[in-house]
């Protein structure tokens, strides 16, 4: 892996430049723009053509029939059913803690004010499926949607030559997805935004995907709501010489194998660990079935930065704002307050990143490409919207009318002032 050295400022500049190169790719932006325009204009016809071009799959019906979903559920192996059931149980119990309610308040006699929560009516879940199947992502997205009370949960995922993976269909059934459509990439995002003959237009699109999916969500934002930019996976690890280089390397590769554009990053105070991890990555890569993908990610985006002390390590990691951050230092929980920008934090040597991908229960859809600076993990709160309400008695309005009129006139908005004055008997 590339070893980066230099002052903290130099390292921060290097990681920022690398991040921008991955996140802003003009060729991807142009391709996505064209696909979205085509889907808006040509609907299903465009979707079927992109299925053939990008996924090499010719199907005439985009929707997966309910009978196929039921059969997948019935045929599921007991072992896989047990794993999905454990994951569902833990995801549900964690996300139940995120559920919130509106509020109502009366700060003055005659004044009622408050906020009510309404589940979104229809959401579209993007479930990746270009180079791997992601039943776990279905649980991570549909379970919070169900808990929030969303009535219509539509799922899109790239088509497969032999039909969708039965584990994907079973996970969708288990999680309560209502409709499944076989289409992926930017075209799927376009379909959910504009609606086509087969696919309904939704209120919000949520879920992760590769750089085409992430770019498409960015471009449709405004026509539809989106959750966040959840693109190619990332792992940042902070470790000192107490860490096991074999485990650190394995964790870096666990995310590198998602996508050639994934980012695997180690920041360490130990040159000896840097050297050992670099060698362990090379040797573990040899036996990884998804070697080509992981190797591309490690070669193009991977790096090990050597810093003088742990404080600098956190400073650099906060600049990177990784999707996943592993702390492989003694007493890891004592560093929680040093972390300002990360999607999810994995504390200590046993909290390997895949624990969170599959069974721990916290979500696994997180912001990428530095957007953990301002986005949060996917949660129940992403599936509800808030509406405020106000009621005033005549007496309460009379006591505050002067302030309203003064502020309205200050803004030169006499119509606003009049609407109050018409209600005040002088």
Options 133-141, 159-167, 351-359, 376-384: segment touching Zn ion (CB under 5 A): 351-359
| Ordered DSSP codes for 366-377 | ---TTGGGT---
Q: 220 touches which of ligand NAD, ligand HSO, Zn ion, none (CB within 5 to 8 A by kind)?
A: none
* Minimum distance, C-beta of residue 269 to ligand HSO, in the bound complex (Å): 26
Report strand pairing: 324-328 vs 234-239: parallel
Report strand pairing: 234-239 vs 263-268: parallel
* Minimum distance, C-beta of residue 357 to ligand HSO, in the bound complex (Å): 4
Q: Give dist(CA 272, CA 135) in Å, integer.
A: 39
Binding of Zn ion by 234 (CB under 5 A): no
* Minimum distance, C-beta of residue 18 to ligand NAD, in the bound complex (Å): 17
Q: Which residues bind ligand HSO (CB under 6 A)?
A: 134, 136-137, 233, 255, 323, 357, 364
Binding of ligand NAD by 342 (CB under 6 A): no
Binding of ligand NAD by 262 (CB under 6 A): yes
Query: Around Cβ 5, how many Cβ atoms within 10 Å?
Result: 13
Given the complex with ligand HSO, which of 43 and 362 has the nearer CB atom?
A: 362
**What b/e string do you get for 150-185 counting C-beta neighbours within 10 Å, with b at 16 or more?**
bebbbbbbbbbeeebbbbbbbbbbbbebbbbbbbbb
Is 340 marked as a binding-site residue? no
User: How far is residue 98 CA from its own chain's centroid?
Assistant: 16
Given the complex with ligand NAD, which of 3 and 132 has the nearer CB atom?
A: 132
Strands, DSSP E only, in 284-339?
A: 303-306, 324-328
340 is catalytic: no
Q: Give dist(CA 374, CA 365) in Å, integer.
A: 15
Contacts of 349 (CB under 8 A, 6+ apart): 243, 244, 247, 328
Q: 136 touches which of ligand HSO, ligand NAD, Zn ion, none (CB within 5 to 8 A by kind)?
A: ligand HSO
What is the token pair recorded at 79? 């072992």
Is 233 marked as a binding-site residue? yes
Q: Give dist(CA 212, CA 75) in Å, integer.
A: 33
364 is catalytic: no
Options 71-79, 144-152, 161-169, 257-265: segment touching ligand NAD (CB under 6 A): 257-265
Binding site for ligand NAD (CB under 6 A): 31, 54-55, 128-132, 137, 158, 184-186, 208-210, 212-213, 230, 232-233, 258-259, 262, 323, 364-366, 368
Binding site for Zn ion (CB under 5 A): 357
Binding residue ranges: 126, 187, 210, 233, 255, 258, 324, 357, 411, 416
Active site residues: 323-324
Binding residue ranges for NAD(+): 126, 187, 210
């Amino acid at each position: 892996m590339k070893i980066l050295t230099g002052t903290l400022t130099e390292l921060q500049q290097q990681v920022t430049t690398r991040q921008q190169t991955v996140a802003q790719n003009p060729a991807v932006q142009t391709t996505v723009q064209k696909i979205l325009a085509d889907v808006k204009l040509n609907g299903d016809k465009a979707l079927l053509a992109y299925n053939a071009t990008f996924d090499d799959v010719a199907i005439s019906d985009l929707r997966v029939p309910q009978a196929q979903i039921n059969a997948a559920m019935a045929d599921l192996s007991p072992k896989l059913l047990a794993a999905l059931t454990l994951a569902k149980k833990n995801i549900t119990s964690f996300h139940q803690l995120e559920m919130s309610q509106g509020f109502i308040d009366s700060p003055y006699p005659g004044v009622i004010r408050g906020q009510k929560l309404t589940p979104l009516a229809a959401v579209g879940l993007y479930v990746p499926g270009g180079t791997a199947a992601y039943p776990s992502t279905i649980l991570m997205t549909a379970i919070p949607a169900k808990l929030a009370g969303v009535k219509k949960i539509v799922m899109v995922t790239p088509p497969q030559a032999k039909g969708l993976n039965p584990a994907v269909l079973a996970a969708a059934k288990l999680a309560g997805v209502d409709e499944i459509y076989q289409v992926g990439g930017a075209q799927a995002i376009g379909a959910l935004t504009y609606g086509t003959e087969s696919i309904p237009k939704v209120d919000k699109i949520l879920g992760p995907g590769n750089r085409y999916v992430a770019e498409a969500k960015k471009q449709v934002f405004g026509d539809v709501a989106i959750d966040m930019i959840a693109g190619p996976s990332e792992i940042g690890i902070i470790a000192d010489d107490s860490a096991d280089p074999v485990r650190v390397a394995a964790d870096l590769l666990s995310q590198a194998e998602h996508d050639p554009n994934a980012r695997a990053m180690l920041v360490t105070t130990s040159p000896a660990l840097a050297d050992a991890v670099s060698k362990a990555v090379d040797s573990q890569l040899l036996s990884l079935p998804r070697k080509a993908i992981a190797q591309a990610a490690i070669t193009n985006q991977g790096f090990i930065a050597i810093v003088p002390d742990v404080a600098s390590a956190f400073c650099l990691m906060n600049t990177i704002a990784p999707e996943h951050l592993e702390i492989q230092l003694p007493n890891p929980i004592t560093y929680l307050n040093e972390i300002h920008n990360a999607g999810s934090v994995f504390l200590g040597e046993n909290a390997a990143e895949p624990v969170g991908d599959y069974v721990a229960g916290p979500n696994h859809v997180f912001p990428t490409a530095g957007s953990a600076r301002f986005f949060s993990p996917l949660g129940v709160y992403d599936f509800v919207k808030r509406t405020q309400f106000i009621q005033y008695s005549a007496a309460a309005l009379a006591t505050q009318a002067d302030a309203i009129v003064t502020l309205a006139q200050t803004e030169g908005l006499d119509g606003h002032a009049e609407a109050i004055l018409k209600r005040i008997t002088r």
